[in-house]
Chains A and B, each alone.
Chain A
C-alpha cells in the first residue's frame, strides 16, 4: 500500500498487506494471518521441488539486478558435504529505496519465513540477515522476531519439529553503501573491510566463509512464502499478458517531489503514468514533474515524457532506456536543477566508493569536482566532454558496478538535460546555486 497512506484500490497487496498492523509483528499475530504454513510445507518438500516452484513463478531478484531466483538457487550443489549459507541482503542503501525497511518493520516473520524456506531449498542450515546499521528499528524488530521464532522452535536445531536445522541470525552493518554489493556484504559479514571481490568465483561456488552461498534481497525472500502457498502459476499470472518475463507484485518506493511519497505495491506491467498521477497523487501543488529516476539512483534518468509512456516491469523500463533496478522511484519537479541533483548524486558515489579500483576512486571524485564547479557557475565549455570521457572510463572497467552507477546519471542527465548544464556554463541562468558542503 501507499504506506503511510491508505492502500489505493489499484494496488495489489501481497507483501504489504499487513503494513501498519502492529499485531502482525508477533509470532502469534503472524500465524493468525497464515504465517509459517509455507515453511511447514517447505520443510516436508525436496529442495529441488521448492526450487522448481520458484522457477515456475518467474520470481526475479528485487535487489537490483533482476536475476531469476529459482535459477540462482539451482546453482547450489546439493549434497557436496560442505556447509552452505544463505545471506539476506538488508543493506538497503540505494538512494530512493526504502521498501525492505517497511517489510522488516511490519512483517519481520515474513522475512524469517522466506529465509528459512530459501535456506532449506539451497541445502543451508544457516541464514544471516545483514541489516544496515542505521536501521535501528528494523534491526530491533528482526532481532525480536528471530528470538521469538527460535524460542517457539519454528527455527533452530529442530525447525517445526521436522528434525531439520535452520538458524536465522541478524547481523548489523556499520555504515557503507558498498556493503549492499553481494561480495562486499560477505566480506563485511566475515569481519573484513567491505571491498567487493573479483568474480569468478561466484558465491554459489565460493561465497561466505569460502563456502557455497546464495544471496537474496529482503523483498525477494519475503515473496517466497506466498509463492509456495499459492503456487507458481498464481504468481506468474500477475504480469502483462504479452510479457511473461516480469511476474508478481512489486513494491515501489516513491520519493522526491511528489504529493504522496511512500511504498506502493502493484502488479508487474502497471502503467507508470497512472501510477505517478493517480496512486502517488501527482506533483506538489503548482509544480510539474520534470524527470524521474525510476529504479534507485544507479539507473538512467528519464524525462517525464518518457516516464509517462513506460510500463512498470523489467522490460518496460528497459524500453525507455532505464532500468527497474531496486524500484526506488525518485521524482524531480520543474523547480529543481538537474545539474545540481546530478552533482549531489555524484558526491554520494564519491563518498561511498570503496576505493579499490582507480577508475572508481578517482572517477567518482573528479566527476563530483567538475559537476560542483559547473553548478557553482565556474564550469568551462570543455567540462561536459571531460565528464563524458570520465564516464566512459568508469563503465564496465571495475570490480563492481558502483562506478558504472555514478556514470549513469551523469551520461543520461547530460543526454536529456544538456541545455541546463550549458546554461550554467554560459551563465545564462541567474541562480548560481551554491555547492553543498559535506
Chain B
C-alpha cells in the first residue's frame, strides 16, 4: 500500500487534473453497468464484498476514481463515502487522480533490478517526455511509475501499459513499444 511512512514513500502521482474540475458528475451505475453490479453482488453474502469490483468498474469507465465516484459507490453499497475512501487509498491500483492516456508501470524490484530494470525506467521517462516518475507528459499521453514485483520475474523487465502486460522489455525495445500507444 502507499501509506508513505516516514523514511520512504511510493511514487507520487501528479495531482494536475486536466479540466475535470466543474463538469457535473454523471453516475457510473446506470443501465447495463448497474445490472452488472447487481449480478456481481449475488456472489457474496455481504454488499460490502462488492466494493473492490465496483471500484474496478468505476475505473474502467472513467479512468480513475473521483471523490464523486466514491460517494456513488458508497451509496450503491450502503457504505459511507469516508469508508470507501479509506479502502481506495489502501490499494495502489486505483487512481485517485486522472493519469495520462497510457499508464505505464515498470517493475524494478530486486529480480528485475539485477537484470537492468532501472535502464528500462530511464528509457521510458526519456522517450515519453515525462522526465520524472509519476508526472504526466505535457501532451497528456503518458504517466510512468515504478511498480513492485509484477509476478513475472523470469521475464525481466515486465511492463504494464494500461491493462496490457508486456514481458522482457529492454531499453532498446521502448521506442517501438511506445508506437503502439499513441
Q: Does B113 contact A (CB under 8 A)?
A: yes
On whether A135 and B8 interact (CB within 8 A), knowing A174-B94, A190-B49, the answer reads: no
Q: Does A165 contact B (CB under 8 A)?
A: no
> What number of A-B contacts does a CB cutoff of 8 Å give?
186
B41 CB, nearest partner CB in chain A, Å = 11
Q: Is the CB of A253 within 8 A of B8?
A: no
Residues in chain A near residue B115, CB distance under 8 A: 255-257
Q: How many residues of A contact B (CB 8 A)?
A: 69
Residues in chain A near residue B163, CB distance under 8 A: 136
User: A191 vs B2: C-alpha distance in the bound complex, in angstroms?
Assistant: 18
Q: Is the CB of A194 within 8 A of B1?
A: yes
Q: Does B111 contact A (CB under 8 A)?
A: yes
On whether A350 and B160 interact (CB within 8 A), knowing A95-B153, A174-B56, the answer reads: no
Q: Tell me the dominant secondary structure on chain A's binding face.
A: mixed
Residues in chain A near residue B165, CB distance under 8 A: 134-137
Q: Does A352 contact B (CB under 8 A)?
A: yes
User: A89 vs B111: C-alpha distance in the bound complex, in angstroms?
Assistant: 22
Q: Is the CB of A95 within 8 A of B5?
A: no
Q: Tell me the dominant secondary structure on chain B's binding face.
A: loop
Residues in chain B near residue A94, CB distance under 8 A: 149
User: A133 vs B108: C-alpha distance in the bound complex, in angstroms?
Assistant: 18
Q: Quick one: which of A346-378 are within 8 Å of B by CB?
A: 347-348, 350-355, 361-362, 364-366, 368-369
A-B contact pairs, 12 of them (CB 8 A): A95-B109, A95-B111, A98-B151, A98-B153, A133-B91, A255-B156, A330-B153, A344-B109, A353-B3, A368-B8, A369-B7, A436-B146
Q: Which residues of A line the B interface, CB within 8 A?
A: 83, 92-98, 100-101, 132-137, 167, 169, 171-178, 188-194, 209, 253-257, 261-263, 297, 328, 330, 332-333, 336, 341, 344-345, 347-348, 350-355, 361-362, 364-366, 368-369, 436-438
Q: Which residues of B line the A interface, CB within 8 A?
A: 1-3, 5-8, 10-11, 43, 45-46, 48-53, 55-56, 77, 86-87, 90-94, 105, 108-111, 113-115, 118, 133, 146-156, 160, 163-165
